[in-house]
Structures are given as structure tokens and as C-alpha cells.
Amino acid sequence: MMSAIIGFIITLLIAALVIWIVSKLGLGMEVDGFGSAIMAALVIALVTWIVMWILGLLGISFGTGWLGAIVALIVSAVVLMISDKFLSGMKVNGFVGALIAAVAIGVVQWLLAWIIGIFV
């Protein structure tokens, strides 16, 4: 139980760090500070869970390959746009901004996972 809580906290902090980095790069999304980035990570996780749950109820799955990646990217951009409405400390610059931010978040998360994988 304790390891699950610690894992959740670490995942949340890494997600907030990624959101904060992407915000500082000016790639379609802005957050006021690291506290807003943590709140954004929580809201994005919650909205993503709800969207995936609804898609699962409808029998829609992403699959694998390029089509799955494109659908996942579009869903991520929509989640960013929805999350923007719930947080005063986060601003997403339209769908194109959300799409660019979703790509940037994906790339930064991949880089962090790769770097952490080298040292762990």
C-alpha cells in the first residue's frame, strides 16, 4: 500500500515537472508555477481517466501503431483543452497549442524516462 502511494506521488511530481518544463518552453501551454503544474497534472490525470473510461464503455480502443498514436495524441490534446477549463493557473492556446503541448509533453516524458532508465 505504501509503495503504491509513493509511486503515485513520484509519478505526479514527474508529470508536474514535465508540464512545467513544457510551459517554460512556450509550446502552446502556460502554467503559473510548479504548484499550478501539480494541480494541472492531477486534473489532466483525472480527465484522462474519465475520457478513457467513456471510450472503453463505447468499445473504442486505440490499438497500436501509427493510428493508435495519432488517436492518443488527439485525445491528449482534447484532455489538455478540457483541463484548461478547470484550472485558473493553466492556459492552453487553442487546439493547435494543445496538440503541440501534447507532443512536447510526450517527448519530454519519453526523455525523462530514458534518462531515469540509464541511471536506475
What is the tally of structural domains in the chain? 1
Task: Determine the pLDDT at residue 64.
Answer: 66
Task: Give 35-47 pLDDT, tens digit per residue.
Answer: 888 888 888 777 7
Contact of 89 with 61, CB cutoff 8 Å: no
CA 33 from centroid of its chain's CA atoms: 16
Distance CA 87, CA 61 (A): 28
- In 26-120, which residue ranges form alpha helices assigned H by DSSP? 34-57, 65-86, 94-119
Task: Give 22-79 pLDDT, tens digit per residue.
Answer: 888 888 888 998 888 888 888 877 777 787 788 788 887 766 677 767 777 888 888 8
Domain coverage including residue 67: 2-119
